[in-house]
Amino acid sequence: MESRGLRAALRIWVALVLVFLFLPIVLIVLYAFNPSNIQSWPITGFSMHWFSVAWHDPQVRSAFLLSLKVGLIATVLALVLGSCVAYALYKFRFFGREAISLLLVLPLALPGIITGIALNSFFSFTGIQFGVLTIVIGHTTFCIVVVYNNLIARLRRTPGSLAEASMDLGARGWQTLRLVTLPMAATAIVSGALLAFGLSFDEVIVTVFTAGAQNTLPLWIFGAIRLGQQLPEVNAVVTFVILLTIIPVVIAARIAAAAASPGQRATCRSVRASPGAEHGQYGNRPHARGSRAVT
C-alpha cells in the first residue's frame, strides 16, 4: 500500500501537470473578457465588448461559416468512407487487409506538414483549383482515421456469436447489419463523427497548404496573431473556438461511457424483428457463413 507521503506527492504532481496544461487556456479566456485592448495582468474588469466586436467582424463571420461548412462536409464523408472500410476490414479476410489497415492510420500518424505538402503537390500536379473542395479533401484524409479507429475498435469488441444468432433466426445480411451491427456500433459512430468535426474545425497545418485564398477561422486566428493585430478580438474568437471544440469531445466521451451492454439490446431487437421469431421457429433459414467471414 502506498504511503501517505507518496499519495500526497502524486496529488501535487497531478495538480502541477493540470496547471501546466490548462493555465494558458484559462488566461486566454480571462483576457477575452478584458475591456482594455492591452493584455496586462491583472485585468481591469470584465466585459463582453470584444465578443461583440468579433461577432460583427465580417471576416470572422465568413471564416467561421467556412470552417463550419468544411467541418460538416468532411465529417459526413469521413463517416461514410470510414464506416464502410472499418466494416469491410472487420468482416472479411483478403490479401492486403493488414496493409490497408496500416495505410488508413498513416494520415494521422504522419506530421501534418507532410500531409499538407503532399496534398498541395497533388492538387498542383492535377490542376485542381485550391478552394473549399481541396480543404474538404485535406480534412477528410485524417477525419477518416478517427471514424475508422472508433468503429473498428467497437466491432472487434462485439461478439461474433450475436450476428450468427441473428442469421440463425432468419435475418438476412442487411437485416443483421441494420438490427444488430449498427445498433451496437451506433455510439462509436456518433462519437467518431463528433471527434472528426472537432478535429476538422480547428485544423491549421493541412489547411495552410490546401486553402489557397480561402480563410478558415483557425487561419484567421493564426494570421491575426502573426501580425500582432486585433489580439483582444483574437482572444474572444479563441474562447469561442475552445468551447466549440470541447463540446463535441465531452459529448463523445459521455456517449462512449453510456454505451453499456449494446449487444444485449441489439440482439433483443434482432430476435423480435427476425422472420423466425415471428413464427416461433428457429434455424428455419441457414445463415450464409462465407469462407471469408470473420467470426
Q: What is the Cα–Cα distance from 1 to 3, expressed in whole angstroms?
A: 6
Q: What is the pLDDT of residue 267?
A: 45
Tell whether the model's pLDDT for residue 235 goes beyond 50.
yes
Of the candidate ranges 16-25, 90-99, 135-144, 186-195, the one whose mean pLDDT is the lowest: 90-99
pLDDT tens-digit series, residues 267-289: 444 444 444 444 444 344 444 33
Q: Is the torsion defined by CA of 128, 133, 139, 143 positive or negative?
A: negative
What is the residue-wise DSSP string for 75-91? HHHHHHHHHHHHHHHHH
**What's the whole-number average pLDDT of the chain?**
76
Tell whether the model's pLDDT for residue 6 goes beyond 60.
yes
- Sequence-ordered alpha helix ranges (H) in the chain: 4-32, 49-55, 58-91, 97-109, 112-126, 132-156, 160-168, 173-176, 182-201, 205-210, 217-227, 231-258, 262-273, 275-278
Q: What is the Cα–Cα distance from 115 to 209, expressed in whole angstroms?
A: 9
Q: What is the pLDDT of residue 268?
A: 46
pLDDT tens-digit series, residues 28-61: 888 888 777 766 677 777 778 778 888 888 888 8
Q: Is the torsion defined by CA of 88, 90, 92, 96 positive or negative?
A: positive
The C-alpha cell that represents 112 in the structure block: 501534418
Q: What residues contact 74, with CB distance under 8 A and at least 6 apart? A: 136, 139, 140, 143, 196, 197, 200
Across residues 188-213, what is the average pLDDT?
A: 86
CB 116 within 8 A of CB 138: yes
pLDDT tens-digit series, residues 7-24: 888 889 999 999 898 888
Tell whether the model's pLDDT for residue 157 goes beyond 80.
no
Tell whether the model's pLDDT for residue 232 goes beyond 70.
yes
Q: Is the peptide bond before 24 cis (omega within 30 degrees of 0)?
A: no
Q: What is the Cα–Cα distance from 137 to 11, expressed in whole angstroms?
A: 44
SS (H, E, C) 225-269: HHHCCCHHHHHHHHHHHHHHHHHHHHHHHHHHHHCCCHHHHHHHH
Predicted model pTM: 0.72
